[in-house]
Structure 1
C-alpha cells in the first residue's frame, strides 16, 4: 500500500543549511522530483529574501558545483543547482532508493522532508540508506494512502494540510483576519515565510484538484 512519511533533519546537516547563518529569515523549498539516478534535485526556491545577488550566498557551498539564478520576483528566487558528484546525503538516499520527494522545506531550525513509497518497505529502505550515509533523519509521521482517502486529501502533504487546517480553525481566512501569519508560525514552530509557503502550495494544489477545468501555469 502506498505510504507517505515525514522526516526532519537539522538545518546544518543538509548542504544548503549553512546559508541560514547569513539568511536566518529565509525559507528554502526544493522543487519536488521523481527520482533519477542520473540527477539530483536541480531546482529550489528561496523565499523571504530581497536581494539582487541571491546566488552569491550559495556560491561557496562545497557540495555545490555550479548555481545560477533562473528567475526572481520580489522576495522569491528560483535557482538551478548542479551538485558535486561526491556528495553523499539525503538527496542521494532518495535517488538510490527510488523514493519520490513530495515536499522539502528548510528553515534556520530544521528541514522537513515528505516522501512517498509504493509501500512501507520503500520507506524502510530509505531510512536504512540514510543511516548508512550518517544522515540523522527523524521520522515524524507515517501513514498509508488508502482508497478511502479523498482526492483532495491525497494531493496535500501533511505539513500543507496541518497549516491549512490551523489557519482555518484560527480564523486566518476570516474578514477581518483573527490571527496573523506570524502567530500561526509560532504555533506550528516554523517561520512566517514557511507558513506562507505551505498555505500557498496547499491552496494551489486544492484549486488544481477541485477546479480541473482551469489552466495551470507551466512548472518552472
Structure 2
C-alpha cells in the first residue's frame, strides 16, 4: 500500500539551504523533481526575498551545476537548480529509492519534506539509504495513503484538511466569504503553506478526474 512519510532536515544540510546565509528571511518551496540523464532538476519558489538579486543569493553550492531564475509572480520567484546525480543528499536518496517528492519547504529553521512510496518497504529503503550515507533526517510521521471518496484521489491528510477548510469557510465562493489569511489562521499555518496545500490538492484532484477522463 502507498505510504507517506514526513521528515525534517537541518537547513544547511540541503544544498539550496545555504541561501539562508544570504537571505535569512526567505522561504524556499520545491515545486518539481525531474529525473534526467545527468542532473536532478528541481524547480522551486523563493518567497520573501524582497528586491534582492535572487540569483546572486544562490552563488555557491556544493554539487550544484546551475541556478537560474525562470519567472517571477507578485514578488515570488520561480527558479531552477541542477546538480550532479553523484551528489549525496536528500534528493539523491529520493531518486535512488524511487520515492515521490510531495512537498519540500525550507526556512532558516530547517526543511520539512513529505514523500510517498509505493510501499512501506520503499520507505524503509529510503531510511536505510540516509543512515548509510549519513544524511541527517528526523522522521515525524509515517502513514498509509488512502483514496478520498473515490478511487485514485490520493490526497494527503494536510491537503484534504486545507481544501475542506477553504470550502467550508467560503474561500471558493464568489464573492469570497473568507480570505486566504483567515483560512490559514483557522488551520494554524502560514498563508504560504495553505496556498501550497491548495495548489497541490487541486493538482491531484484534476489529475484523478478531469485529466483522466
State the TM-score, normalized to the length of structure 2: 0.77
- 2:88 matches 1:69: no
Cα offset, 1:129, TM superposition: 0.5
Q: Which residue of 2 aligns with 1:2?
A: 2
Cα offset, 1:207, TM superposition: 5.0
Matching of residues 78-157 of structure 1 within 5 Å = 78-84=78-84, 86-146=86-146, 150-151=150-151, 153-154=153-154, 156-157=155-156
Q: Which residue of 2 aligns with 1:46?
A: 46
Name the count of aligned residue pairs.
209
| Root-mean-square deviation over aligned CA pairs | 3.2
Mapped to 1, the partners of 2:186 and 2:13 lie a distance apart of 26
Mapped to 2, the partners of 1:117 and 1:60 lie a distance apart of 32
Please list the CA deviations of residues 3-46 of structure 1 after superposition, one character each: whole Å capped at 9, or x if unmatched. Answer: 22122222222111232243344222223336567432332222
Structure 1 spans left out of the alignment, 5+ residues: 215-220
Structure 2 spans left out of the alignment, 5+ residues: none
In structure 1, the residue corresponding to 2:193 is in which secondary structure? helix
In structure 2, the residue corresponding to 1:177 is in which secondary structure? coil
More strand by share: 2
- CA separation of 1:177 and 1:31: change in aligned 2, threshold 3 A: closer
In structure 2, the residue corresponding to 1:66 is in which secondary structure? strand
| Structure 1 runs, 4 residues or longer, greater than 6 Å off | none
Cα offset, 1:212, TM superposition: 5.0
State the TM-score, normalized to the length of structure 1: 0.75
Please list the CA deviations of residues 75-118 of structure 1 after superposition, one character each: whole Å capped at 9, or x if unmatched. Answer: 22221212155531111111111222222222232322222212
Matching of residues 193-212 of structure 1 within 5 Å = 193-206=192-205, 209=208, 211-212=210-211
Please list the CA deviations of residues 165-206 of structure 1 after superposition, one character each: whole Å capped at 9, or x if unmatched. Answer: 55567x473855386366357x24xx4423332233334444
- 2:19 matches 1:22: no
- CA separation of 1:145 and 1:205: change in aligned 2, threshold 3 A: closer
Cα offset, 1:126, TM superposition: 0.2
Mapped to 2, the partners of 1:117 and 1:128 lie a distance apart of 14
Matching of residues 183-198 of structure 1 within 5 Å = 183=185, 187-188=188-189, 191-198=190-197
- CA separation of 1:198 and 1:53: change in aligned 2, threshold 3 A: same
Q: Report if aligned partners of 2:33, 2:43 keep a CA contact under 8 Å in 1.
A: no
In structure 1, the residue corresponding to 2:33 is in which secondary structure? coil
Q: Which residue of 2 aligns with 1:177?
A: 178
Q: Which residue of 2 aligns with 1:217?
A: none
Cα offset, 1:125, TM superposition: 0.3
